[in-house]
Amino acid sequence: MKLVRIISAFLFYMARILAIGYLISTFHLFVSTAFKLPTLKILEHNRFVVYYPFTEKGFLLGSEYTFSYVTEMVATIGFYGLFFWLLSNVFHTFRQSPLFTKRGIRNLKLFCGINLVVSPVLFGLLSMFSHEDLPFFGMIVAHAIIGIFAYFLTAIFNEGVGLQNEQDLYI
């Protein structure tokens, strides 16, 4: 179990770093495009680039500077920020002692929900209105598989909490 805690600690920090990066990127993209800051430059053919703050080094490149395209970018990057944040919470659950807790179940349920409910809705809408030719169906299937796996883990954790509570009653 010690190895599981070490691996989950490493994955917790990696997922949390990714989440923070995605969420900061979402915020930077939104603020740059909403307020037309100097970090935004419109290129020819209505393309655009968002620079790193306080530089002129390209950070995000957009193929079409329209409200719908920018909204699509913000929604997708923001979704993955939330995805990695909730994933880091799941890894944090495996660092806890005792392992089976109500908080762990809550973390798994949230992660399950974003994969089984939010991602099909988001990617379903994007597949109808997107300017990009992305494999949205594949993304929905991948998130569904992750969500089903998280659902199985949630059921196992529910059983674990029940068994721990029974054991505590006997002591």
**Residue pLDDT tens, the chain, 171 long:** 899 999 999 999 999 999 999 999 999 999 999 999 999 999 999 999 999 999 999 999 999 999 999 999 999 999 999 999 999 999 999 998 889 999 999 999 999 999 999 999 999 999 998 877 889 999 999 999 999 999 999 999 999 998 988 877 665
Read off the pTM.
Answer: 0.93
Residue entry with tokens 């659950």? 93
pLDDT computed for residue 169 by the predictor: 61
Number of H helices, E strands in the chain: 5, 3
Residue 148 backbone phi and psi in degrees, to 5: -65, -40
The pLDDT assigned to 134 comes to: 84
pLDDT recorded at residue 131: 75
Task: Please state, in angstroms and rounded to a whole number, the distance separating the CA atoms of residues 32 and 42.
Answer: 12
Sign of CA dihedral 103, 83, 50, 48: negative
Using an 8 Å Cβ cutoff, are 27 and 83 in contact? no
Q: Where are the beta strands (DSSP E) in the chain?
A: 40-42, 48-51, 58-62
Q: How many domains does the structure of the chain reveal?
A: 1
Domain holding 37, by residue range, is 2-170
